[in-house]
Structure 1
C-alpha cells in the first residue's frame, strides 16, 4: 500500500519538490496537497509582470488543474490548515476537512510584514504578495491615482513599476539612504534610482513612516520628520516573515523559520519543511533558487535516493520588471580583507563590480549589462582562484572580454545548477529533455521544461546547453509564427489570404496547415482582423473569435458586470444627451457613473442581460471603449474659447471622431487635437496627435502614454482641416495594412521606422489609394448594437456567444483580453 504524503502549501517551492519526487519515484506515495489560495500553482515572482501588462494571470500558472489530476494528486485549493496533530498524524482545515498522513511536508511560505503603523487597518492599505493583492492594485488604479509604496527593496520597486504601468502616480518610501541595499552597492543603486526616476517613479529616501492618514480609506502617509505625502493606496513591501504558526502550535521546533536539518527534516519525525517557511543552519531564504535546491534534496530524501544533503545556497538576484537590467550575487559589499574590480560607464549606463577575497570571486554587482551574470555566479559557487590575475574575470586574458563564454560556462556547470531561476529548471533537466525527450530547439525545451519561458533572461544559456549537448549542426532553428499553432509570420498569412482569396479563419487554418485545427486565443482574433482588413466586403466578422469585451460590446469587470461607454464626440456633449444618460443610469440601477480620461462618461456595474436594452434606450453610438478600434479623440477648447488657441480644435476633433468611429484596427487607437502648441489635449503622447499652429496643423504619430511611454514624432505639417483628415486616413490605413495584430502604433512605428511611414505616404497618389481603401471599409461599418437590436439572428448569436459560466470565468477572460496587449 502506498504511503500517504500530505503537503501543506501549494506554492512554487513545494510543487517543484513534487515534480522532482514524481520523476524519482512516481508510485511511492498517495499525494494530497492543501493550498490556502483558490488557484493551482503559479509563478509568484511573475506577479509584477502581470501588473506590467506583459502577461496574464493565466500565463503565470506553472501547473494547471490537469497536472494535478494527471499525476493523481488530490488538491484541496482554498483550504487553510488550522490544526496539525502530530500524535494522530493528521491535519484539519478551516472547511472541516481532516487528512491523515504518513509523511508531511510543510511548505507554507511566508507572510508579508505589515508595519504596525496607526491607521494600517484602513481601506487601501495592502501588501504585494499574491494574486489577490495584484487584483486589488489593478482594480484600485481604475478609480484612484496616487499610490505610495513603503519599501525600496526588490519587491517594492517591482510593485511601484506595476502601479506606474496602471497609470498611477507612485512614490516609493525607503528608510535607508539608497535603494535595494540588500542587492546593490551604493553606486549601482544611484544608477538604478536615476533610471527609475526617468520612468516616472518618485522617491522619498531616509524617511521613517509614522501614521497612515484618512478616516475610512487612506488619504496619505505622514513621517516622523513632520512631512507627509498624499496617497489613495499604500502598498507595504518591507519584508516577509516565515509562516510558522501552524508548525509551532503542532510542537515542531521553530526559530525564525521551521528548523530543518540537511535532509529538510524538522524536529518531529516524518515531518519535513522547505521554502520560505524553513530555516536551515540559521538562514531562512526568501529567493526562489535556494527553494528549488531544497526541493531537489527533499525529493531525493522521500524517494529513497542517496544524497549529500542541503548545504545552503549562494544567493543571486535579478530585477526583471522595471525594464532595468540589474544582477547581484554573493558578498558584493566591500569589506576589510576584500578587493574590488569596478567598471563604470555613465554614458551607456553600465556598471560592473566584482569582489575578491584571497583571489576568489565572492560577489558581483552588474547594472545595465547583465549578460555575464550566470558566468560570475558560477565562479562564485566554484571558488576558482584568480590570485594575481583578477582582471581576467572582467577583461579576459588579453584584456578584450570576459574570461568564459556561455559555451565554456556550460562545460563548467554541474548538473544540479539552476539555469532558469524563474521556473527552477536545472542543467540536468534541460539535458534530459534533449537526450531523452528529443527536444532539438529552444521552443521545444521551453514547452517541455518551462526554461526561458518567463523572463527569458536564461535563453542564451539554454541555447548554449542545447548546442553543447547536440552539436551545432543538430540544433533546429525553429521559425516562430504568430502563435504556437503555426510557424507562419503575419506577412506570410496576409499574403496567402490575398493570393488565395481566403475569407474565413477555417480556410486559412486548413490551407496553411495549422498545427491545431481550431487555433488558439492568440491566432483566432488575429486571423479575424487580417481577413476583415483584406476583404472588408466579403469577410463576415467571426464573433466567436473576438475577445470577451468585444463580443459583449462592453468592458467586463472583475465581478462579471460590465462598463458601458457611449460615444461623446471630441468630449463635447449636450444637455439632451446628459439627460438621456442620467435616465438610463437610473433605470438600470448603474452603481457608478464616472468621467473617463478620454473625456467620456462611463456607466459601471451593468448586468450582461441589460446590455442590449440599455444601448437601445441610450440611442447613442458605442464609444468602443472595449475594442481594437478608434477609442477617443481628446480635445481642448481651442480658439473657440481659449485666448491662446490658434485653430478650432473642438470641431477638428469631432470631425476626426465621426469619420473614423467603428474603424477596426490592429490595436486600440487614441487621437487628440490641441488648439495650440501648449498641447493641453496631450496630443504628443497619442497614436495620432494634431497640434494647431499659426496657419496650419502639425501631425504627430506613434505616441503612447501607457505602459511604455513614448513621445510621438512629427509626421507632417499641413494647412487645412481637409488635409488633416486626408493624412490621418492614409496613416491609419497604412497602419491597418502593415502592423501586426495587437501591435500599438508606438511599437509599429519603432519597428518599421518613421522614415518608412513617411516614404509610404510621401506621394499624393499613394495617399489617395490608402484613403480610398479606408473609406471603402468605413462605408461598411455599422454600430454593433444597432445591428444586434435590428437583427433577430444576430441577437440570438450574441446571446449564445456572451453566455458566461460565472463571474470568475468572466474575470479570467477579462485578464486575458487586457493583458495580451501590454500598452495602456
Structure 2
C-alpha cells in the first residue's frame, strides 16, 4: 500500500526530511511524497545572506537545489503554493487554490518569521529584515544604488552583526542598537561579548542597553528614535530575532507551548485535544524543544538542530521508534573575521533556571607561541557547581572555534566534568595546537584550581 507523505515547508527542516526519505531505498517503492512551499525556488540557504550582501558571492548561488532536482526523483515538489488549513480529522491539507491533498503522514516544517518590535514607522521605505531571498534582493539592489549613507541595525545578535559588517564594508556609517547591555546576549556572557565588541569597534558604533522607541520619517525612514535622542538613518535593518510560524498549527487546534512553538513529544509528534497524534510530526524553527541542560522548554532555531530532528522524524515515518533527546544549540558565527561560538547555557539563563554556576575563563594561543600564524583564543566554560558537570561554553578567536564547540557539545551531552576535560589526553603538534589547550586552562579555573606553568 502506498504511503502518502505531505511535507509543509521547504526550508532546512522540510528539505532535510525530504532528503533523508529519498535516501531510504524503500521509499522509492512505497511512498508518494509531496512537499509544499510558498516560495518559488527549490532550497535557498538563507544562512548565507549576510555574506552575499558583502559581495562574497551572488544571491543565486544560495539556491542549492532547484525544484526540478526533486521532481526528477519522483517528488511532487510544489513551489509558490500556500497551505491555508490542515484538516486533522479528515487527514488532508487544503491549498489556497481550493485543492485538498490527503495524507497518511503529515510533516509540519513551517519555520519562523522575523519578529517586528511594537514601534511605529516599521512600514516606512528603507526599513528591511533579512530573512529570505526577497529580502536579500531588495537590500542588494539598495546597496548597489549607493544611496544609503547611514544605517541603523536594530538587534545585536548574529544576523544583526553580520549584516552590520556587510553594510560597513559597503561604505555605510553603521550604528547597532541592542536593548540588552551587551552584544549577542542569547549566546554570550557580557565578559565574552566585550571581546567581540572590542574587535568590531573600528567598524561599528554601538548603543547598548537602550530600546528603540520609533522609526521617524514621512514616507522614507530618516531617523531612529531612542528615548530623547535620534540617530540619523536612511536604511534600517530590524534583526530582533525570529518567532515560530504557527498560524496553520493554531487554526488546526494543535497545542502550542509557553515559548510560542508547536508542542511535540520525544518522537516529534504534535498534540491536539490532549493527545499526541500518531501520524502528524513537526520540526525545525516552528517547534519547542527540551533544553538538554535545564530540561525546560525553549526554541532552538538552528539548521543543525533541524537536521537532527529530521533524522528522528524520517526514522519514525519509516516505521522506526526514534526519539529526540533535546537540544544544546551549538552555535558558531563568523563576524568580521572573528569566530564566535557557544553551546549549552549562558550564566544568566542557567541562574534563571535555578542552577548554581561555576565559570572559568582563559586566554591562550591556538598553537605554539613561536609560530607566526598563532592566534589568541578566549574560552569560557560553565559548570554546575554541585556536580562539576560542564553545562555551557563560549569561545572567541580568529581560528579553531567551530571544532572546539563541536567537541564541547559532545562533552556536555555525555555529562563530562571539568576534571575529565583537564585529565583527558589530547593530540599535540606545535604548528597546529598547544600541548595544553585553552579548554584545559578554562576547566581548571572553573574548578578553582591553580594553573601552574
Structure-2-length-normalised TM-score: 0.82
Higher strand fraction (1 or 2): 2
CA contact (8 A) 2:114 2:242 kept: yes
1:131 aligns with 2:133: yes
User: Which of 391, 409, 419 in structure 2 is aligned with 1:377?
Assistant: 409
CA distance in 2, matches of 1:144, 1:386: 50
User: Which of 274, 283, 306 in structure 2 is aligned with 1:274?
Assistant: 283
Quick one: structure 1 residues 138 and 294, their matched pair in 2 at CA, closer, same or farther if it must change by over 3 Å?
same
Match of residue 13 from structure 2: 13
Q: Which has the higher contact order (CA 8 A, sep 6+)?
A: 2
Higher helix fraction (1 or 2): 1
Match of residue 319 from structure 1: 333
CA contact (8 A) 1:212 1:220 kept: yes
Match of residue 148 from structure 2: 144
Match of residue 49 from structure 2: 47
CA distance in 1, matches of 2:57, 2:375: 29
CA contact (8 A) 1:392 1:402 kept: no
Shift of 1:394: 11
Shift of 1:218: 0.7
CA distance in 2, matches of 1:189, 1:93: 46
CA distance in 2, matches of 1:402, 1:348: 13
CA distance in 2, matches of 1:241, 1:205: 23
Bigger radius of gyration among the two: 1
CA contact (8 A) 1:153 1:181 kept: yes
Shift of 1:161: 1.9
1:222 aligns with 2:225: yes
Match of residue 156 from structure 1: 160
User: Which of 213, 217, 227 in structure 1 is aligned with 2:216?
Assistant: 213
Match of residue 760 from structure 1: none
Match of residue 79 from structure 2: 77
SS in 1 for 2:284: coil
Q: Deviations over 1:44-103 (max 9, x none)?
A: 211122112223223222332332122211111112211222233322233444322222
User: Which of 310, 313, 317 in structure 2 is aligned with 1:295?
Assistant: 310
CA contact (8 A) 2:363 2:438 kept: no
Match of residue 347 from structure 2: 333
Shift of 1:169: 2.1
CA contact (8 A) 2:332 2:341 kept: yes
Match of residue 362 from structure 2: 343
Match of residue 363 from structure 1: 392
Q: Deviations over 1:502-531 (max 9, x none)?
A: xxxxxxxxxxxxxxxxxxxxxxxxxxxxxx
CA distance in 1, matches of 2:100, 2:169: 44
User: Which of 104, 107, 114 in structure 1 is aligned with 2:106?
Assistant: 104
CA RMSD after TM alignment: 2.6
Show structure 1 runs of 5+ residues with no match.
Answer: 405-824
Show structure 2 runs of 5+ residues with no match.
Answer: 291-296, 366-373, 429-433, 440-453
CA distance in 2, matches of 1:49, 1:26: 37
User: Which of 422, 436, 441 in structure 2 is aligned with 1:401?
Assistant: 436
Shift of 1:215: 0.4
SS in 2 for 1:344: strand
Shift of 1:249: 0.8
Structure-1-length-normalised TM-score: 0.46
Match of residue 264 from structure 1: 268
CA distance in 2, matches of 1:327, 1:15: 26
Query: Aligned residues, how many?
Result: 400
Quick one: structure 1 residues 161 and 403, their matched pair in 2 at CA, closer, same or farther if it must change by over 3 Å?
closer
CA distance in 2, matches of 1:276, 1:373: 21
CA distance in 2, matches of 1:95, 1:172: 43
Match of residue 22 from structure 1: 22
Please list, as runs of the form range in 1=range in 2, the aligned pairs for 1:630-779 lying within 5 A after superposition: none
SS in 2 for 1:299: helix
Hey, which bits of structure 1, 4+ residues long, moved more than 6 A? 393-397
Quick one: structure 1 residues 232 and 261, their matched pair in 2 at CA, closer, same or farther if it must change by over 3 Å?
same
SS in 1 for 2:337: coil
SS in 1 for 2:118: coil
Shift of 1:156: 1.1
Match of residue 625 from structure 1: none
CA distance in 2, matches of 1:237, 1:375: 30
Quick one: structure 1 residues 348 and 301, their matched pair in 2 at CA, closer, same or farther if it must change by over 3 Å?
closer
Please list, as runs of the form range in 1=range in 2, the aligned pairs for 1:135-534 lying within 5 A after superposition: 135-141=137-143, 142=145, 143-198=147-202, 200-224=203-227, 226-255=228-257, 256-268=260-272, 269=277, 270-281=279-290, 282-307=297-322, 309-333=323-347, 337-344=356-363, 349-357=376-384, 358-368=387-397, 369=399, 370=401, 371-387=403-419, 391-392=422-423, 400-402=435-437
Shift of 1:253: 1.7
CA contact (8 A) 1:343 1:353 kept: yes
SS in 1 for 2:380: strand
CA distance in 2, matches of 1:62, 1:116: 35
SS in 2 for 1:276: helix
Quick one: structure 1 residues 316 and 147, their matched pair in 2 at CA, closer, same or farther if it must change by over 3 Å?
same
CA contact (8 A) 2:364 2:438 kept: no
CA contact (8 A) 1:172 1:201 kept: yes
CA contact (8 A) 1:175 1:207 kept: yes
Bigger shift: 261-270 or 13-22? 261-270
Shift of 1:321: 4.6
Match of residue 116 from structure 1: 118
